Every structure is written in C-alpha cells, then in structure tokens.
Amino acid sequence: MATRTRRQERRDEPLSRERIVEAAITLLDTAGEGGLTFRALAERLATGPGAIYWHVTGKDELLSAATDAVVAGTMTAGTAATTPQEAIRTLALGVFDAIDDHPWIGTQLARAPGQSPMLRVFEHIGRQVQALGVPDTAQFTAASALLNYILGVGGQNAANARAHHPDTNRTEFLNTVSAAWANLDPDEYAFTRNVADQLRDHDDRTEFLAGIDLILTGITARQKATDPAPS
C-alpha cells in the first residue's frame, strides 16, 4: 500500500526543476549544505536520485539554483522607492534578511562571485549607483563597497546567530558578551570597554542600515568633492 501511495504522489505532482529547488532550499535551511544530498532530496520528493539528475546536473548547480531562487525574491524590494538611496537601503535590507533566514546563502554568494545570484545583487546595486549620478570611473568602486558590506555584515550576522548556544537567546548572549567587554583591560581595550553597553542594547538591522547610510554619505560626499565648481 505504501508503494502504491508513493507512485500516486509521483503521478499527481510531476517532478520539475522548481519543485526540486524548493525542496533543496528546505533541506538547506534545516540541515545545512552538508545535509543536501541527492538521496535526502529524493526521499523528500518521493522519487529516485536518477529522476533529479534529469533536471540538475549535480550539487553545485543545485546550490546555485537554490541561491538564485532566494536572491531573486529580494530583487523586487525597492522598486517603489522614491530615491536611489532609499532603493539601496531597501535592497540591502532584503538581502540581509534573506541571509539571516537562509544562512547558507552568504557562503554561496561569496563562493561564486561570477554566477547569476551574485550578479543579480551587483546589477541592482549598480543601477542605483548610476541613478545617484556617480561618475562612470567611480561606479565600480561604489557598487563594490556596498556589495561587500552587505555580504560581509549579513554573513557575519548569520554566523553569530548560529554560534549561539541552543538554550541561549540573543539578549542573554549579548548581555554575556557585553559584560565580558566591560571587564577587559582598560589600557589595552579602552574603546571596546566604552561601547560595551551599546553592544548589549543594539539592534542588528538598525546597525546594518546605519552602515549603509555611512557608505552612501561617503559616496555622495566624494561625488560633490569631484564635481567641477560652478564658473
């Protein structure tokens, strides 16, 4: 009876690349990259590994497709923004939240900078940099600075979340680290001791956006400094 039920599932739900990618994302979220195997995927989809290979050639392609599917969902963010700055902030926060929800994405984006998931993010950032009026010769630098900040901070935030003890919530974790900072040697770590309370009380998303604003301020200031003075 179990075999008959499984065969019925196969007929009612045709296997497709989209279904495979959706199942892969679920496996990656629950078991990480190490848990994504074609055997585990086949069990989840009630099919055989051979059927999956008709749609994807291997794990690398599957990881890229899963990453692209998640990242593509963030690219609509900022389409209603009224300014390039607002669009960049919205896009950046969308990618930040996606990495927070799917920690494996940060690693995949950094691992394959020439593939479409990374290029999607870079392209959308670059278009807004152009809309800011940044000179052609400075556009690559400005877009790269924003991209590197988004991926770096997003990835680090996800790594910090995974590093927490399962029985420790974020508030408890920050209280512990803040207390440790406050007790550091005052001569060797004067600055770190001084901001210990800010670490305990900070909001990750707010701090992330503040960093984006700093970069945008720098881009704008540099542009004004290089603009020719009015005659």
For 26-89, give the secondary structure using H, E and C: HHHHHHCHHHCCHHHHHHHHCCCHHHHHCCCCCHHHHHHHHHHHHHHHHCCCCCCCCCHHHHHH
User: In whole numbers, what is the pLDDT of the chain averaged over residues?
Assistant: 86
pLDDT digit string, tens, across residues 28-37 = 999 988 999 9
Domain 78-226, CATH:
1.10.357.10
Higher model confidence: residue 147 or residue 162?
Answer: 147
**Distance in angstroms (rounded) separating the CA atoms of residues 53 and 56:** 5
**Distance in angstroms (rounded) separating the CA atoms of residues 118 and 95:** 11
Tell me what the mean pLDDT of segment 27-48 comes to.
92
Q: How far is CA 230 from CA 134, 222, 224, 227, in A?
A: 18, 17, 12, 9
pLDDT at 9 over 80: no
Model pTM above 0.75: yes
Q: What percent of the chain has pLDDT over 90?
A: 59
pLDDT band at 52, cuts 50/70/90? very high
Tokens 């190490």 -> residue: 34
Helices H, strands E: what count in the chain? 13, 0
pLDDT band at 168, cuts 50/70/90? low
pLDDT band at 12, cuts 50/70/90? low
Q: Is the dihedral of CA 152, 158, 164, 165 positive or negative?
A: negative
What is the CATH topology of the domain spanning 2-56? Arc Repressor Mutant, subunit A (1.10.10)
Domain locations along the chain: 2-56, 78-226
pLDDT (0 to 100) of residue 6: 42
Neighbours of 171 (CB within 10 A): 10
Neighbours of 67 (CB within 10 A): 29
pLDDT digit string, tens, across residues 53-67 = 999 999 999 999 999
pLDDT (0 to 100) of residue 116: 82
**Distance in angstroms (rounded) separating the CA atoms of residues 143 and 128:** 9
**Residue 213 carries which DSSP code?**
H
pLDDT (0 to 100) of residue 78: 59
pLDDT (0 to 100) of residue 73: 85
